[in-house]
C-alpha cells in the first residue's frame, strides 16, 4: 500500500538480492576489462562454462555462483572466425 502514495523499492526478496549482486559483479568485470584494455590487453567475457568444475578448481563452496569468466590475453588478428555482430546503438540507447 505504501507504494500507492510514494515511490518505494519493490526488489527486496532474496532472489532480488542475487540479481543485485550479479549486476554489481558484472560492473566490476566491465571495469576490469576496461582497465585491461587500457593496459593493451584483450578480454572476453563468457557465461557458457561448467560451473561445477569451475567451483571445484577454485575451491568455492557448492552454493557459490560464478558471475562470468573473463579470459585475458593479446589478440591474434587471425583469431576472429566469423562476422562480428553489433546491436545497433539506437536499439540500446534511449534519450529521454
Residues in contact with ligand FMN by CB under 6 A are 44-48, 68, 84
CA distance 51 to 1: 41
Q: Is 77:52 a contact under the CB 8 Å cutoff?
A: no
Residue number with the shortest CB distance to ligand FMN? 48
Residue 89 Cβ, how far from ligand FMN at the closest point, in Å?
15
Residue 1 Cβ, how far from ligand FMN at the closest point, in Å?
38
Q: Of the two residues 6 and 78, which places its CB atom closer to ligand FMN in the complex?
A: 78
Q: Is 43:72 a contact under the CB 8 Å cutoff?
A: yes
Residue 85 Cβ, how far from ligand FMN at the closest point, in Å?
7
Provide the sign of the torsion angle of the four alpha carbons 65, 67, 71, 72, taken in this order.
negative
Amino acid at each position: 500500500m505504501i507504494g500507492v502514495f510514494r515511490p518505494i523499492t519493490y526488489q527486496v526478496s532474496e532472489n532480488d538480492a542475487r540479481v543485485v549482486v550479479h549486476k554489481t559483479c558484472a560492473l566490476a568485470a566491465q571495469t576490469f576489462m576496461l582497465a585491461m584494455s587500457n593496459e593493451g590487453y584483450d578480454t572476453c567475457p563468457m557465461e557458457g562454462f561448467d560451473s561445477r568444475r569451475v567451483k571445484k578448481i577454485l575451491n568455492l563452496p557448492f552454493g557459490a555462483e560464478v558471475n562470468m569468466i573473463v579470459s585475458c590475453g593479446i589478440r591474434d588478428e587471425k583469431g576472429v572466425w566469423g562476422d562480428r555482430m553489433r546491436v545497433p546503438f539506437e536499439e540500446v540507447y534511449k534519450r529521454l
